[in-house]
Amino acid sequence: MIANYLFLIKIGVMMIQKIIVTPLIFLSSTYVFADRFIEDGVGSSSGGIFNAILGVILMIAALYYFFTSYVDWSERQKKGEKPKPKNDLGEWIPALIGYALVSIFAFIPIMFIVRIFGSAEFVREYWYFIYLSCFGLLTFLRRT
């Protein structure tokens, strides 16, 4: 009986991951917080509360995707399994684009934390290292 409930919970998590989270990340705009970092002297126009809420939801969804990827990876490591191989370029390109988009939204809260402990100049100089680290970590978790 409990095994059935655990199976249903796992199926539910997979459905949320594939049906809700992925389209939200793919279909959303990636400029939600971009105007906070641009200082052009003109002033920035806020997109309103909806864009802020959408950005927070997408960041939480991306971090949740990272978390479930880590859980799946650790289960595969315990069992000695490998993920389903991607054979051709038609399978690799959408996967890498998806990983890149998820990494964008997972990268934003990390940059806010780095800015709290560091400075804005540090963020401007090293943001791409942190983004590439997020992308590399996600690719590693999903493909090993």
Q: How far is CA 16 from CA 19, 56, 113, 136, in A?
A: 5, 17, 27, 23
pLDDT of residue 31: 44
pTM of the full predicted structure? 0.62
Give the mean pLDDT of 3-17: 59
Range of the domain at 19: 2-143
- Does pLDDT of 27 surpass 70? no
Q: Residues 66-117: pLDDT tens digits? A: 999 999 999 999 998 888 887 788 888 888 888 898 998 888 888 888 888 8
pLDDT score for 112: 83
Indicate the number of domains in the chain. Answer: 1
Rounded-to-integer distance, Cα 61 and Cα 17, Å: 9
Top pLDDT among 46 and 54 is at 54
